[in-house]
Amino acid sequence: MRSLQNAIVLVTGAGGFLASYIIPELLDRGAEVIGIDLKDALDNGNLNSVKSKLKLIEADITNLSELERVGVNCDYVVHLAAIGAPALCDRDPAKAFLTNVQGTFNVLKFSTRKSVKRLLFSSSAHVYGISPKYVPTDERHPLALQDIYTTTKVIGESLCQLFYSNHNLEYITTRLFNSYGPRQSTDYFIPAMISKAKKGRIELRDRHVTKDFVYVDDVA
């Protein structure tokens, strides 16, 4: 396990599902963690077990001025803030682009001004398309702009590359497959299936579709 002793790590989307597992891991490795998110997200209880061990700041990544008022210097940024469910992006494409594209641009801009050493961008395996051309897929697989959510993630990856080329901002992109675990919203597949099973009725649109899942602890 790599030590992050005395490193300052800023986590966007701190109130979210993934962050609620990643933040405790960062703390265990000795990092000083600063989490930012919208007020409702920070108040949802996901971080109750570690709330006293980190600094939480209410901030909207879609507003660069508000983000810069956070006023903290940090060594690393873990950028998790996003509208992460494809169905939610389809319902409000404008909000999806504002959060996932403009928000990512703002976080990258903030990171260059704060001389961040490295940024982690949470992308998605959706960028490989519904039916990948080959499996197992790898980083060389062609990208597929199949829906609003995927398009915002591909643009986010491109913005990271742009900021690396123009500002030497080092970054890592993780193309996460379907993560699952406790505290996940029913907007996602496994919690939705569990919820339907409890009600005694499960409906699948296509029973021939196969998916890859990864437990959230393994992601963290």
Instruction: Report pLDDT digits (tens) over 65-109.
Output: 999 888 788 999 999 999 988 999 999 999 999 999 999 999 999
Q: Whole-angstrom Cα distance, residue 137 to residue 140?
A: 8
Looking at the 3D structure of the chain, how many domains does it have?
1
Q: 24 in helix, strand or coil?
A: helix
Q: Is 3 domain-assigned?
A: no
Token pair belonging to 73 = 């210097």
Cβ–Cβ < 8 Å for 107, 67: yes
* Spatial contact of 83 and 89, defined as CB atoms under 8 Å apart: yes
Evaluate whether 31 touches 7 at the Cβ level (below 8 Å). yes
If you average pLDDT over residues 141-145, what whole number do you get?
Answer: 93
Residues spanned by the domain of 207: 8-219
Per the confidence metrics, is the pTM higher than 0.75? yes
Domain membership flag for residue 16: yes
Is residue 149 included in any domain, yes or no?
yes
- pLDDT score of 1: 59
1 in a structural domain: no
Quote the percentage of the chain above a pLDDT of 90.
75
- 162, two tokens: 């742009």
Taking the C-alpha atoms of residue 55 and residue 33, their distance in angstroms, rounded to an integer, is 7
Indicate the helix (H) or strand (E) that contains 210.
none
Q: What is the pLDDT of residues 106-130, one digit of tens each?
A: 999 999 999 999 999 999 999 999 8
* 24 is a domain residue: yes
Indicate which CATH number applies to the domain containing 117.
3.40.50.720
C-alpha 220/C-alpha 213 separation (Å) is 14
Per-residue pLDDT tens over the stretch 165-197: 999 999 999 999 889 888 888 887 888 888 888
